[in-house]
Amino acid sequence: MKFGVLIFPGSNCEHDAYHMVSKVLHLPVEFIWHQSKDLKGCDAIVVPGGFSYGDYLRTGAIAQFSPVMEAVRKFAANGGLVIGICNGFQILLESGLLPGAMLRNKGLKYVCRHVHVRVESAETPFTGSARAASVLQIPIGHMEGNYFVDDVTLRQLEENRQVVFRYCTPNGQITDEANPNGSLANIAGICNAERNVLGMMPHPERASEAVLGCDDGLVVFQSMVHSLEPLAAHR
């Protein structure tokens, strides 16, 4: 089982994702340069955070055109696991792999702090090891995390249980006060209808080791590993 971590010009959480997979999960992991046209046989792809192309135009707007994204689209269409974190989520939105768009935070400022999110669906390869409705403490760090989507699509997301994480209070209430960026319906993370592509604004890799004060985020990666295990055994 091998993880791939994409690198775009301006990615800056790629080393964090790499460290998490190699030193915390103790699994093989490889960097994949944005010019690459294939995914080097990886079983799961991490689109890391950062400021791809400086985010000078619109977050993720240029990265979607990188050659590697064509490979990611094919990989995802074949059921491959893709997780986009922060800028990675923004890139997946721009690439059309996930629906919706990001607006600037309601406070108009970059926000870096720990938040709480509730697991809205444990029926995804990214949350299979978590309890449904459990609360995870995971940090955010972004300027554009105010998720927006039209009413019809929102209804579809809710009906298909594609909302995977919602910002909540420490005891799991979904309130305005618990929403750090004004995102629609407190959405912190969503998956596609096929449930193999996840985008989330919080950084689970920043909450994966006790030494960092919190390892609630580890469950996301452990879930991915568990869902890939049968596949790996089959090979």
Q: Describe the chain by its helix, strand, coil percentages, rounded to 5.
A: 30, 25, 45
Candidates 114, 129, 185, 215; binder of other proteins (CB under 8 A) is: 114
Coil vs helix vs strand at 26: coil
203 binds other proteins (CB under 8 A): yes
Cα 118 to Cα 48, 58, 229: the distances in Å are 22, 28, 26
51 binds other proteins (CB under 8 A): yes
Active site amino acids: 86, 203, 205
139 binds other proteins (CB under 8 A): yes
CA distance 39 to 32: 7
CA distance 56 to 205: 25
Closest to 92 (Cα-Cα) out of 179, 162, 181, 186: 162
Query: Which one of 111-119, 182-190, 192-200, 223-231 is the stretch in contact with other proteins (CB under 8 A)?
Result: 111-119
Q: Please report how close the Cβ of residue 76 comes to other proteins at its closest, in angstroms.
A: 26
Q: Please report how close the Cβ of residue 34 comes to other proteins at its closest, in angstroms.
A: 11
Helix/strand number for the chain, H first, E second: 5, 11
DSSP secondary structure letter of residue 54: G
By residue count, the chain amounts to 235
Draw the binding track, 161-200, toward other proteins (x: CB under 8 A; -: no contact): ----------------------------------------
Count other C-beta atoms under 10 Å from residue 231's C-beta. Answer: 12
53 binds other proteins (CB under 8 A): yes
Q: Which is nearer to other proteins, 43 or 205 (CB)?
A: 205
Q: Please report how close the Cβ of residue 190 comes to other proteins at its closest, in angstroms.
A: 23
* Residues making contact with other proteins (CB under 8 A): 9-10, 12-13, 15-16, 19-20, 23, 49-51, 53-56, 109-114, 139, 141, 143, 203, 205-206, 208-209, 211-213
